[in-house]
Structure 1
């Protein structure tokens, strides 16, 4: 009898990576479909599905908890190198499936469990490395716990959304703080950042009981954070470089512009202006998805063991995203059909980016396969 062959660690992780990828992908597709159906865009006809009503109601939860929460949870679990850390993205992905296709109450509480485990993972990170950015990551995780508890308790979007976005915004701010920690900054810069983020949390805390006051504070905090990032982030320097560093800087600076617009729109919404769509999607798409597009070429190889061939073609889906937001939020403010068309283009830009990433992975394999064949001759 032959000796049993050992399976490499990389091969053992292939089914797990496929599972997590499927959970995040289903959450993203269902979330985008729910957002389009809410605006009357039938792709495909929503009446052909018995679960359409569920998806319509939980569009935001699918995007924030199901897709982004799962992706961020995987990234953090890979970083801490503990198997139990993967419980967080597994619970958020499973919760999203329940929200879209099964018992929604179970899905909501699975999302709470995901956030609690995610907070524990970030507590471990703080224990290993006590630094300003790790503490901010933990506070952002705590904001996700609060938002998910409010969601599970049946509170409306005015109470839940500020906490969900605080989770995303603080996670991104913490990562940018880590990236720029070696830059020389004025001593007041870090103090100012923490004051702005404290203002953001205060606005989130007030929004449920006093939506007007909480919304004004929250919007001001978003606008101030956009200004801080534009002034102090390393992107304002790396935008003058080349290659992937420049691409990331363009993504970041464009996202900061949308963050500022979201802050103004959030405050305007609190004052009674019809700017809710601009507030939510300038923040959720213009800022957050721009950050995803900017970091994906660096993060994906680390967490999914997928190597990408970077090229100028990465700018195409980024440009499509920003142009689609202009159509939706600027032109769409005067016309519902234009708003729906802009939303369709938003979804198309995200799909375009996914296709671009897949193409970059295939291009890398083809290029390096050809190089390996030449060396073998």
Structure 2
């Protein structure tokens, strides 16, 4: 295969476009779902919200980063398939077209991780391969089931991918057995997610137990516990990491105590604690490190990045506690709107920071 390690940032940036459009469509769908004004108030948008954000947005970003790591032209078929799947969901094409593209993208992502694993048989990559398998299974189940029933698999994809990425980035601070511990949790989570298809209540409780164990292990060993006392980017990243762990632990406890959730306030709590509180916090924490490696352009830290981070967590706390648990509908809507604003604000700030370049007197 042709090596594309010297591919231009423009070439790589093209694959960010469908991910960005999926994110915007997912944010629009979120506004539709909570019953407030939305730029494009289509009836279908609400049903597609989850897959747009996970398959069209997050999975495409992850696949692009992995394609760059593999350095093969064929690997870029993965973000292409996933991005096309997200875009197809936004067109009048039959729903099955977008679903099939997402399934194909998931399968292709598994093959990319398999190729990466053959290089050095890294435990972290093995866990990421399992995560890609979770995405593929979830997308495949969507052909027959509604999104709430396949949500555990999407949670598995997000949790395992991000936790593996975290172990990889913080490897020097992890114990020597860290890789094996991560693989053990990933294998157990895969088994418990299979159980959710047969025994939903028991499977969800066991999945919550595994995720809680994984979170507590990561918090115990993550350097973020020390760098939170630092300044600048290290402190910002540490705050985002620790905040994400808190939300993921909350979701795990809800599963552990309440079992399977497919509707209602507890479902809303689990989904958004994972997908917003955990996943988007981790995106904020890692963006200044990962995006420059993908686009070959520095993303300098700026103090203004704290604004969307704080807004995200305030909005989520408002949405889930007085909104979901206390049943205050207007407060719930307000929290949801703040989450959308926080996500869009971080994208704008990150793009502006990358375009402006390093601040005076500071190296990239």
Tell me which residue corresponds to 2:66. 76
TM-aligned CA deviation for residue 269 of structure 1: 4.2
- d(CA) in 1 for partners of 2:163, 2:12: 27
Deviations 1:138-166 (CA, angstroms, capped at 9, x unpaired): 11111111111111x22133441111111
Does residue 140 of structure 2 align to residue 145 of structure 1?
no
- d(CA) in 2 for partners of 1:120, 1:246: 36
TM-score by length of 2: 0.90
Does residue 117 of structure 2 align to residue 126 of structure 1?
yes
- d(CA) in 2 for partners of 1:113, 1:184: 34
Tell me which residue corresponds to 2:230. 241
Does residue 82 of structure 2 align to residue 87 of structure 1?
no
SS across alignment from 1:78: helix
Q: Which deviates further from its counterpart, 329-338 or 113-122?
A: 329-338
Deviations 1:283-316 (CA, angstroms, capped at 9, x unpaired): 1100000000011111111112232232222111
- d(CA) in 2 for partners of 1:127, 1:190: 16
Written as runs of structure 1 = structure 2, the 5 A alignment for 1:1-377 is 14=10, 16-44=11-39, 46=41, 52-101=42-91, 102-151=93-142, 153-183=143-173, 185=175, 187=177, 191-270=180-259, 274-333=265-324, 334=326, 335-364=328-357, 367=360
Tell me which residue corresponds to 2:3. none
TM-aligned CA deviation for residue 274 of structure 1: 3.8
- d(CA) in 2 for partners of 1:72, 1:104: 23
- d(CA) in 2 for partners of 1:122, 1:183: 24
Q: Relative CO higher for 1 or 2, CA cutoff 8 Å, sep ≥ 6?
A: 2
Give 5+ residue unaligned stretches, structure 2: 1-5
Aligned residues: CA RMSD:
2.2
Give 5+ residue unaligned stretches, structure 1: 1-8, 47-51, 372-377
- d(CA) in 1 for partners of 2:355, 2:313: 26
TM-score by length of 1: 0.87
TM-aligned CA deviation for residue 106 of structure 1: 0.7
CA contact (8 A) 2:22 2:53 kept: yes
- d(CA) in 2 for partners of 1:366, 1:175: 28
SS across alignment from 1:212: helix
CA contact (8 A) 2:20 2:57 kept: yes
Deviations 1:261-288 (CA, angstroms, capped at 9, x unpaired): 1111233442778411111100110000
TM-aligned CA deviation for residue 355 of structure 1: 1.4
Q: Which deviates further from its counterpart, 61-70 or 98-107?
A: 98-107
Structure whose alpha-carbon radius of gyration is higher: 1
